[in-house]
Amino acid sequence: MKFKQILSIAFAAGLACTAAQAETYPSRPVKIIVPFGAGGPADIYARAIGQQLSDALKQPFVIENKPGAGAVIGTVEVARSPADGYTLLLMSNTHTANETLLPNKGYDLSKDFAPIAPINAADLVVVVNPAVEAKTLQDFIALAKSKPKQLNYASSGVGTPYHLAGESFKALSGTDIVHVPHRGSGEARSNVIGGHVQMMIDSVTTMVPSITAGQVRALAVTGSARSALLPDVPTAMEAGLKDYEATIWLGLMAPTGTPQPIIDRINAEIRKAQARPDVVAAYAKQGTVALDMSPAQFSDFVKADITKWAKVIQSANIKTN
Question: What would the pLDDT profile of 235-259 be if each residue is shown by its tens digit?
Answer: 999 999 998 989 899 999 999 999 9
Average pLDDT over residues 98-109: 93
Backbone angles phi, psi at 91, to 5 degrees: -120, 170
pTM: 0.81
- What confidence tens digit (pLDDT) does each residue in 32-42 have? 999 998 888 89
Is 70 exceeded by the pLDDT of residue 133? yes
Confidence of residue 15 (pLDDT cuts 50, 70, 90): low
Nearest to 247 by CA among 155, 165, 129: 165
Measured between its terminal Cα atoms, the distance across the chain in Å is 62
Looking at the domain that runs over 123-221, which CATH code has it been given?
Answer: 3.40.190.10
- Can you tell me the distance from the alpha carbon of 67 to that of 135, in angstroms, rounded to the nearest whole number? 34
Looking at the domain that runs over 3-121+249-316, which CATH code has it been given?
Answer: 3.40.190.150
Average pLDDT over residues 183-202: 94
Neighbouring CB atoms inside 10 A of 4's CB total: 8
Is 60 exceeded by the pLDDT of residue 3? no
Is 80 exceeded by the pLDDT of residue 80? yes
Nearest to 302 by CA among 129, 123, 160, 111: 111
- Can you tell me the distance from the alpha carbon of 157 to that of 94, in angstroms, rounded to the nearest whole number? 9
Confidence of residue 132 (pLDDT cuts 50, 70, 90): very high
Confidence of residue 233 (pLDDT cuts 50, 70, 90): very high
3-state secondary structure 265-309: HHHHHHHHHHCCHHHHHHHHHCCEEECCCCHHHHHHHHHHHHHHH
DSSP SS3 for 234 = coil
Whether 3-121+249-316 shares its CATH topology with 123-221 is answered yes
Is 80 exceeded by the pLDDT of residue 138? yes
Return the higher-pLDDT residue of 185 and 193.
Answer: 193
Domain boundaries, the chain: 3-121+249-316, 123-221
